[in-house]
Amino acid sequence: MTDTDRPDSAGAPTSPAAPPAAEGVPVPKRVRVHHLRQAKERGEALTMLTAYDAVTARIFDEAGIDILLVGDSIGDNMLGHPTTIPVTVDEMIPAVRAVARVSRRALVVADLPFGSYEASPQQCLATAVRMLKEAGAHAVKFEGGAHLAEHVRLLTRSGIPVVGHLGFTPQAENLLGGKRVQARDNDAAEQLVADALALADAGAVAVVLEMVPAPVAERVTEVLAVPTIGIGAGPGCDGQVLVWTDMAGMTGWSPRFAQRFGEVGAELYRATRAYARAVRERAFPAPEHTYER
């Protein structure tokens, strides 16, 4: 979406009920699934970021991020797991709830964790219903291609928008042999295009493409009527998504495909050291932080 669609990120938080409008450009109060397709048709880049709690979700929402993904990357980013694989639905629900409670403009997408949807369309529907009913998500995302088309179809028929996820699918990292770029040869690229078409045909409202060569992502973007959202898939996708801790520089490492747009981790460390020093030196709390009666 155009930058002028967004609440003013420099000033005080603005109300999404009245975001500044670019002339002639309709501004959604709440980003909804039809806005995703409209953005693609207009050539406006969609912004997506992960969020796992209310504090960061509020900032991202006010900064004008279009889609907040409560990713199962909560596992390796927030919960101390080595991968996304151990994440449970019961761990996801409070995170989705927190993000959904505070986001006023963004479309909130909940990831379905490993083991909570693959067995059948019915299992998938039951988990997705929890994400909408108990947690307030607006849509769900799950990993996999054409073999999950029936899952997408059932959810769509049941009124639940689905975002697909192709390319490197972290829940399958044991099968894929680690975090590796996917669809590098022609056959795999053709399969990826076929998977994306099958998901879109079944009703998917967008497809995330993770770690695929840029020309392959461009091809998928061309053939799909719904937006592609890339992560390590080059600039040719309709939108981009990053894990927020990578985007903000929260740790010493970030993947090659992620730009560090800030050094928030270093700043948090600096603030924490300053706080600890002030307490040890008895400089905090000062009189202005103290109640005398």
Considering the complex, state which of residue 27 and residue 208 has its C-beta at the smaller distance from ligand KIV: 208
Return the residue of 243, 247, 248, 250 that touches ligand KIV, per CB under 6 A: 243
CA distances (Å), origin 7, targets 65, 105, 264, 275: 10, 9, 22, 32
Is 218 marked as binding a ligand? no
Is 246 marked as binding a ligand? no
Is 73 marked as binding a ligand? yes
- Residue 72 found at the interface with ligand KIV (CB under 6 A): yes
CA–CA separation, 74 and 94 (whole Å): 11
- Residue 50 found at the interface with ligand KIV (CB under 6 A): yes
Which stretch in 7-15, 67-75, 180-188, 195-203 sits in contact with ligand KIV by CB under 6 A? 67-75
Which stretch in 68-76, 102-110, 173-181, 261-269 sits in contact with ligand KIV by CB under 6 A? 68-76
CB atoms within 10 A of CB 138: 21
CA–CA separation, 141 and 38 (whole Å): 20
Give least dist CB 242 to ligand KIV, A.
8
Return the residue of 200, 231, 233, 247 that touches ligand KIV, per CB under 6 A: 231
- Residue 208 found at the interface with ligand KIV (CB under 6 A): yes
- Residue 245 found at the interface with ligand KIV (CB under 6 A): no
In sequence order, what DSSP letters do the residues of 193-245 get, joined into one string? Answer: HHHHHHHHHHT-SEEEEES--HHHHHHHHHH-SSPEEEESS-TTSSEEEE-HH
Q: Residue 110 in contact with residue 70, Cβ under 8 Å?
A: yes
Is 143 marked as binding a ligand? yes
Considering the complex, state which of residue 27 and residue 107 has its C-beta at the smaller distance from ligand KIV: 107
Amino acid, res. 230? G
* Interface map 102-121 toward ligand KIV (x if CB under 6 A): ---------x----------
CA–CA separation, 91 and 113 (whole Å): 9
Paired tokens of 261: 């747009």
Is 210 assigned a catalytic role? Answer: yes
Q: Which of 37, 108, 48, 73 is nearest to 233 (CA)?
A: 48
Return the residue of 44, 52, 67, 73 that touches ligand KIV, per CB under 6 A: 73
Cα R_g (the chain), whole angstroms? 20
At residue 68, the 3 state secondary structure works out as strand
Return the residue of 16, 19, 64, 71 that touches ligand KIV, per CB under 6 A: 71
The footprint of ligand KIV (CB under 6 A) covers 50, 69, 71-73, 111, 165, 208, 210, 231, 241, 243
Annotated binding residues: 72-73, 111, 141, 143
Annotated binding residues for 3-methyl-2-oxobutanoate: 72-73, 111, 141
